[in-house]
Chains A and B, each alone.
Chain A
Amino acid sequence: MTESNRATGTQLVKRGLAEMLKGGVIMDVVDPTQAKIAEDAGATAVMALERVPADIRRDGGVARMSDPEMIEGIKAAVTIPVMAKARIGHFAEAQVLQALGVDYVDESEVLTPADEAHHIDKWAFTVPFVCGATNLGEALRRISEGACMIRSKGEAGTGNIVEAVRHLRSIIGDIRRITQADQAELFDWAKRLQAPLPLVQEIAQTGELPVPMFCAGGIATPADASLVMQLGAQAVFVGSGIFKSDDPAPRARAIVEATTNFADPTILAKVSRGLGDAMPGLEVGSLETRLADRGW
């Protein structure tokens, strides 16, 4: 039997997995037990990391890629896709993650950056990458480096949705404005955004990012998930919001239901009941370190 001509690692299959994750919830987990709870609750994928952002914030120090053994343990525990984080610019960590067979690499500001000028050249990898962005220019620079999914950064580990809303509104608002711009104005948009002109022109035509856009950083309740989905996010990442809450399993389940039924307040009212306390939140003004400022 002859092997067909199979092409792996193409933009289409890399962006394709992000398409499949739309309308779902990707949950941060630190061990196989949490990964099982996430899968049981209906997560579409898990993000394997050693400490959730709230703990990274509390503990300080350098936050790095997780131990491969821990990632392997999580891969073995669940059947859904497993993502893992590499430090900004740390292409060697990303190479390790690809060798481990993770399904998506998050080049993440939650970890301590490894390079102050360069993000990873993501075109060089078979595994797809997701990157954070606070505004449209940042999103388009990441896409030009090969990112196949963008997540608005928000402010991880705070349980405070305000930064996620700011970043989503900034990205989506600029996309809307670009669709109203004439040809000459697009050059100025590219200059102001410090983004490649062809990507700006593409947005002017399609009215959306060339890759899926998800939301992260501060989601702690079902209503938070509904809010960002109504603002235009296509799926949500929940980090500390689940496993730093009183009762993770029902909260995880409720956020899954809220993400699917984001436009139905009756269902939201039903699933939001009796979940116990959400994670204790942080006022953004009181933060010593703003993770969203990492990356450029």
Chain B
Amino acid sequence: MKVGVLALQGAFARHVRVLADLGATAVEVRTAGDLADVDALVLPGGESTTMSMLLDSSGLRGPVADRIADGLPVLGTCAGMILLATRVADGRSDQRSFGAIDLDVRRNGYGRQVDSFEADLDVTGLDEPFHGVFIRAPVVERVGDGVEVLAAVDGQPVLCRQGRVVVAAFHPEMSGDDRIHGRFLDLAFAA
């Protein structure tokens, strides 16, 4: 299975490493050509405003939207979650998202860097807790009807799924634990 990792900016190299360790062919995606033959896509953490801008200048915005609409399995972490959400609060006015999962999110909703935190998460379908790393993370403020909440922190959803779209407010690529990527590959493989 060939998994693309959006490599415009951010923690893409870490995702590539985790996916490769799981046996997937992981490729960095910077152009529409890179996207053409991937079977799944990861939108990494980083700065969502920067990535939103680079999605336009790279010409990737349209092709990514088209592939998602065609059912491409997608995993978005932190900034990636913001880019996949329906509505974004506290963003820039020119920042655009794909609306691939029916969620409203607030950028940096947990606060600034000094409020960034680690916490153990009970994840639906995983036997042992998953250690979540939250860095200036987005808060989910509304969950649409078709969205399944797979983990929460203090009542706020932090891992959600709708169809083939999976989003995390935290950074599974930072924990040294490949279970969430593994589950995503299972989902993508079944697609």
Contacts and interface: CB of A to CB of B under 8 A. Distances in A.
Contacts of A128: 113
B96 interface: no
Contact of A8 (B7, B49, B117): B117
B50 A16 contact: no
A44 B46 CA distance: 8
A104 B113 CA distance: 8
A10 to B, nearest CB: 6
Interface in A38-56: 39, 42-45
A67 to B, nearest CB: 19
Nearest to B175: A12
Given A260-B30, A261-B30, A16 B116 contact: yes
B57 A19 contact: no
B191 interface: no
Nearest to B113: A103
Interface in B32-68: 45-47, 49-50, 53-54, 57-58
A81 B46 contact: no
B79 A20 contact: yes
A39 B49 contact: yes
A12 B174 contact: yes
Given A4-B154, A44-B50, A101-B112, A20 B10 contact: yes
B64 to A, nearest CB: 15
A16 B171 contact: yes
B155 interface: yes
Interface in A83-108: 98, 101-104
A80 B134 CA distance: 16
Interface of B: 7-14, 30, 45-47, 49-50, 53-54, 57-58, 78-79, 90-92, 107-108, 112-120, 133-136, 153-155, 171, 174
Please name the 6 residue pairs, one residue from A and one from B, whose CB atoms are nearest each other, closest first: A103-B113, A6-B117, A44-B47, A13-B116, A23-B9, A16-B135
Given A8-B114, A20-B136, A22-B9, 19 more contacts: A4-B154, A6-B117, A6-B153, A9-B114, A10-B118, A13-B113, A13-B133, A16-B133, A17-B136, A19-B11, A19-B14, A20-B47, A22-B11, A23-B10, A23-B46, A42-B50, A79-B91, A257-B57, A260-B30
11 contacts: A4-B153, A13-B133, A19-B171, A22-B10, A22-B11, A45-B47, A101-B112, A127-B113, A256-B50, A260-B7, A260-B58
